[in-house]
Chain A
Amino acid sequence: SYELTQPPSVSVSPGQTASIPCSGVQLGDKFIYWYQQRPGHSPVLVIYQDNKRPSGIPERFSGSNSENIATLTISGTQAVDEADYFCQAWDGSTYVFGPGTKLTVL
């Protein structure tokens, strides 16, 4: 079965750029999706189809996907961005989620 890998945690200072990687075999051949989840809340879609932002998601969120790595980038990170971030792909028959990365803003 297809697997996605994410680092357990990433730290960033307020105002700086946070990069959260997601890796998988030939990931660049698939669309990648990113979800933000704050404690006690449902996931929220922040990036779809590699680099598209849904309505209402701030411009500081962006995404890229190439070869074996996709990256969620948050520019000018704010305290409100502290959350878990999950990448997700479709492998042709199933949705696959990465294990999640806890973003700490300190």
Chain B
Amino acid sequence: QVQLQESGPGLVKPSQTLSLTCTVSGDSITSKNYWWTWVRQPAGKGLEWIGRIYASGTTNYNPSLRSRVAISLDTSKNQFSLEVTSVTAADTAVYYCAAWEVALADWGRGTLVTVSS
């Protein structure tokens, strides 16, 4: 079991880049056990998978977001990060980081990001 905590700006202007960080404790970010994952949820709506990254740096992204999303590792800080470029109001959501071992068993508390001028 790992613990995860999201951090980053709660307000982003349209057309700018959304950047979030997930700090992991309880295991190393380089552990071969996990896929480090981002999921988002607009208010009152369902869960949307954004993408994931493995210790090797291999990534998978939601095809609907692939052109605007990047996930990366920072092994020195035991963190992984999310960037979403050219944001619009449709990107307003609670963003969760999570860890997939055999399932998404460990989740952060989520952080609300609002896209507004």
Contact = CB atoms under 8 A, between A and B. Distances in A.
A1 B46 contact: no
A49 B49 contact: no
Interface residues of B, number: 20
- Find the residue from A43, A49, A86, A98 having the highest chain B CB count within 10 A: A43
A86 B105 CA distance: 14
B60 A94 contact: yes
A45 B47 contact: no
A93 B60 contact: yes
Interface in A9-38: 33, 35
Nearest to A31: B103
Interface residues of A, number: 20
B99 to A, nearest CB: 11
Contacts of A86: 46-47
Interface of A: 1, 33, 35, 42-45, 48-49, 54, 86, 88, 93-100
Given A95-B37, A97-B48, A100-B47, 17 more contacts: A33-B103, A33-B104, A42-B107, A42-B110, A43-B107, A45-B103, A48-B103, A49-B102, A54-B103, A86-B46, A86-B47, A93-B60, A94-B49, A96-B49, A97-B49, A99-B46, A100-B46
